Chain A
Amino acid sequence: MMRALLVAAALVACGPVRNTLATVTPTVPASASCVDGAARCAAGVPESCRVYDGVARWWPLTPLTVDGGAAACGEVCVVDGTPARAHCATADAGVSP
């Protein structure tokens, strides 16, 4: 039993195994083609691209709504600043692509 637990612990500490776990877990963002540190708005949700264990994902940056999706901005989502950052803003701030 202890040996099985140790083997399981070693496996989940391994990058490819934990990436497989992440891939099959609902609500974890899918892998994507993006550059580490990039920012975007997706359906009004601010996101950042981060690469971990060699896998890039667009990570939503807002908490969830009661429906289980990442909360979209109430007015608009914009990308600005240096480094570029996606965030919510008032409607007169304009809409980023």
Chain B
Amino acid sequence: MTIVPIDLARTVAASECAAAGVTLVTPDSPSLLRSAAYLSVAALTPLTVAEARERVSLYVPSLVSDVAALIAGVTTLAPMLDKPAVIVGERAWSEGNVLAGVIGHELGHRRRDVATRGACGVVCSALWGVTYLAHPAVRLWEEGTCMTSDVTAAVILRDLAPDAAADEAQRALRSIYSADPASLAIGGDAIESCAASLRAGVLHGKGTAIESVLRALVARGWMPSTRWAKALA
């Protein structure tokens, strides 16, 4: 296994986001959208704004672009919200081996957004948004399945054992989302299932966003370990 150079990881992050039709907002991007996003994160989680900027990456769904287009008072944000966005935290932007998992995670949310929008347009986007915020089990399920990208990246790119990667993800799930045990169990099931898949030597599902990111890294010259070379060939 070779370390993923940060420039390579950033290039792949940009190309994968462009292919998914989202704006990539990095720590050195114009700060208004990032500031608004991290204030929201601090309001909804136990994290401070500084902790959120450091640790949290997030997906800004198409519904937010719709609302921004309708509200005249946010015209200063509008140019950055003309389409959905992935906002990358400071830590992820500085570590290539972490960034790949984060991009896979956030583009997993993008796929949910597209699927929901495709079902019945903006009405379904709004329904999903309200349900995500109101229903802890749905929120933790969505986050748990997307966190399987972080687990996969930790094993394949950082050479962590699957159990250690799962423990890391479970801690992150508990610390970021103040949720009840039943909701955490649903997110935790996805993480533990992913760890079991990786222990078995296979990716956790075919055609996922993290698989696309890993294949893009390989296509640009990154060499996976022998154990994972076949899966990513």
Contact = CB atoms under 8 A, between A and B. Distances in A.
Contacts of A67: 207
Max count, chain A CB within 10 A of own CB: residue among B114, B148, B204, B205: B205
Given A22-B131, A50-B189, A64 B202 contact: no
Given A48-B186, A62-B205, A64-B115, A28 B138 contact: yes
Contacts of B138: 22, 25, 28
B135 A22 contact: yes
B115 A27 contact: yes
B124 interface: yes
Contacts of A60: 145
B145 A63 contact: yes
A36 B135 CA distance: 18
A61 B193 contact: yes
B193 A52 contact: no
Interface of B: prevailing SS: helix
Contact of B108 (A26, A64, A73, A81): A64
Interface residues of B, number: 50
Contacts of A90: 200-202
Interface residues of A, number: 44
Nearest to B152: A63
Interface in B113-157: 114-116, 118-120, 124, 127-128, 130-131, 133-138, 141, 144-146, 148-149
Contact of A68 (B111, B144, B197, B231): B111
B182 A61 contact: no
Interface of A: 12-13, 17-19, 21-22, 24-28, 45-46, 48, 50-53, 59-75, 81, 85-90, 93
